[in-house]
Chain A
Amino acid sequence: MRTLEQTTQEVVDLATKHFKVTAGSLSPSDDFFKKLGIDSLQALELLSRLENHFGIELPDYEVQGVSDFRTLAERIQSRL
């Protein structure tokens, strides 16, 4: 069973790879909308990646208002 720290790191790593940013440039407390300059459809792309990677379903309404990787990881953790 993953720890929250592991989950958070995997979320950051997946976002780094998906949005093709420099490794190490994202941190768990970053606001991913502001840091990555993404919109809602791009956020849904990340959601698909995360769901596929972790093998979970994460309803969109559970990420309403979530803008940092750590909180996103907490939502995912509760589904593992």
Chain B
Amino acid sequence: MKSFSGKALRWEWRDGIVELTLDREPANEIGTVMLADLGEFVRTMKTFEADTAACIISSAQRRGFSAGADLRELYQGAIALPEKERNAGVRRFVEQSHEIANAIDAAPFVTIAAVHGVCFGGGLELALACDIIVADKMARFAFPELRLGLIPGFGGIPRLKRDLGNALVRDLLLTGRSLNAARAHAVGLVAQLAAEGESLKVARSTAAQITKFDAAARIAAKKFVKPIPYEELRREVEIFCELFKRPAVLANLKKFVESTEAMPYLP
């Protein structure tokens, strides 16, 4: 299937490049609908991967690439269930997100995240599953999960550790602060900076360059330089699920969902 239009995203294949556009209001929050559509993309990848050199993941939402997990849906789903079912449901959700991120991470084509605006939590984790991040100058990156009493649960920490120095991982995770695009570029999280609103254009130019290379060499090179930390990823799932069981997490989710403060995203 070389094109698809779902409830949260769409994709189109043309001339060896797939463009996957996240498009769910207000900020591409990752909940069951987004995950279902991403799952469809991953299932369909096999049908076009042999003809594909690059895939660009971008956002059509003005607010940014993705604000992360749909905390409202997570909270509403959690309080509706008894504890055992709630914890089982969260585990299923996290495992599904890992399957998706792992498939994108291991894709034989080059994946490029074209980021603008907010790239937080699960959104950053989706970008980290990609090979290259291109960001416009207004992009911001954060792992705010500690604020909720959780850690990133979609594979972000093992991937960030794989790609960057541990000191930066500690800074981001333990303070919950967001990095601007210039800093993210300086530390190597972002490969290329674009002018405001131009990240997709820069990503397209990068993808076009990648299509020039021999596919077998590209596939072998990517496998060689990008080990997937499967063991750490599995550990992350266990740690996340264990933390989620604590009453403090539901209380923090409730506080976020019911907040009338202007800045609930800030720690």
Residues of A within 8 A of B (CB): 33, 38-41, 43-45, 47-49, 51-52, 57, 59-61, 63-64, 67
User: How far, in whole Å, are A37 and B213 apart by their CA atoms in the complex?
Assistant: 50
User: How far, in whole Å, are A44 and B140 apart by their CA atoms in the complex?
Assistant: 8
Residues of B within 8 A of A (CB): 27, 63-64, 67, 117-118, 137-140, 142, 175-183, 261-267
- Contact (Cβ within 8 A) A51 B180: yes
- Contact (Cβ within 8 A) A43 B262: yes
- Contact (Cβ within 8 A) A48 B266: no
- Contact (Cβ within 8 A) A60 B266: yes
**In the assembled complex, how far is the CB of residue A42 from the closest CB belonging to chain B, in whole angstroms?**
9
- Contact (Cβ within 8 A) A67 B262: yes
**In the assembled complex, how far is the CB of residue B158 from the closest CB belonging to chain A, in whole angstroms?**
24
**In the assembled complex, how far is the CB of residue B132 from the closest CB belonging to chain A, in whole angstroms?**
21
Chain A neighbourhood of B139, CB < 8 A: 48
> Which of A45, A52, A64 sits near B263, CB closer than 8 Å?
A64
- Contact (Cβ within 8 A) B175 A61: yes
User: How far, in whole Å, are A43 and B117 apart by their CA atoms in the complex?
Assistant: 12
User: How far, in whole Å, are A7 and B118 apart by their CA atoms in the complex?
Assistant: 26
Chain B neighbourhood of A61, CB < 8 A: 175-177, 266-267
- Contact (Cβ within 8 A) B180 A57: yes
Residue in A38, A40, A45, A67 with the greatest tally of chain B CB atoms within 10 Å: A40
- Contact (Cβ within 8 A) A41 B67: yes
Could you give 9 example pairs across A and B, Cβ below 8 Å? Answer: A39-B262, A41-B265, A43-B262, A43-B263, A44-B118, A44-B140, A51-B182, A63-B266, A64-B267
- Contact (Cβ within 8 A) A41 B27: yes
Across the two chains, which residue of chain A brings its CB closest to B267? A61
User: How far, in whole Å, are A38 and B63 apart by their CA atoms in the complex?
Assistant: 13
User: How far, in whole Å, are A40 and B63 apart by their CA atoms in the complex?
Assistant: 11
Chain B neighbourhood of A63, CB < 8 A: 266
5 further contact pairs, Cβ within 8 A, besides A40-B262, A52-B182, A60-B265: A33-B262, A40-B264, A43-B262, A51-B180, A57-B180
| Given A41-B118, A45-B138, A52-B182, A60 contacting B63 (CB threshold 8 A) | no
User: How far, in whole Å, are A45 and B67 apart by their CA atoms in the complex?
Assistant: 13
- Contact (Cβ within 8 A) B266 A40: yes
- Contact (Cβ within 8 A) A59 B177: yes
